[in-house]
Amino acid sequence: MKNIFIILLAFSFVSCNSQNKNAEQVKSTSKKDTMDFKIVKTDAEWKAQLSPEAYAVLREKGTERPYTGEYDKHFEKGMYVCAACENPLFTSDTKFDSHCGWPSFDEAIKGATIYHKDTSYGMIRTEVMCAKCGGHLGHVFDDGPQETTGQRYCTNSVSIKFLPAK
């Protein structure tokens, strides 16, 4: 039973870390770009504001464990905003169940995110970051619903906050 759990966990991690083929979407960010964010704080200020888990993901580019996030199976109507700065990122209309263990969206709000080529862990992926504060949200892949955008924004629950529709 333990071996099955380990295999399922490994499969989930790989499914959300598959190679992204949409290279033209990638925009490389540099040290200069980080100074262009509307919200710039010191590490101490971010640590004081965020939980340790949120800090690890948003500021240190970590990843929460699959199937543990608050928003993986959450499908209420509303808006998802950056957990660090409340920048609107995704609408609930773009959320879908990708079965990868993390919240998935097929489209971000125009101008809400920026992209960075991520070559960590021997893979080539596209990192998604909040355009307002530079917080790490997750990665975008080209294996989303073909009937919409074909994209899957694989997002850490701890990096977003849900605001219900009024």
| Rounded CA separation 155/136 (Å) | 9
Structure tokens at 59: 């500021």
Phi and psi at 94, nearest 5°, equal -100, 0
Give catalytic residues, as residue numbers. Answer: 154
Q: Do residues 127 and 139 make contact, with C-beta atoms less than 8 angstroms apart?
A: yes
Length of the chain: 166
Mean pLDDT of the chain: 86
Q: What is the pLDDT of residues 30-83, one digit of tens each?
A: 333 445 899 999 999 999 999 999 999 999 999 999 999 999 999 999 999 999
Global confidence as pTM: 0.81
Nearest-5° Cα angle at 126, 123 to 128 = 135
Average pLDDT over residues 109-128: 96
* Cα distance between the two ends of the chain: 44
DSSP per position, 2-65: HHHHHHHHHHHHHHTSPPP--GGG-----HHHHTT-S----HHHHHHHS-HHHHHHHTT---PP
Domains of the chain, first to last: 2-164 (2.170.150.20)
How far apart are the C-alpha atoms of 139 and 141, rounded to whole Å?
Answer: 7
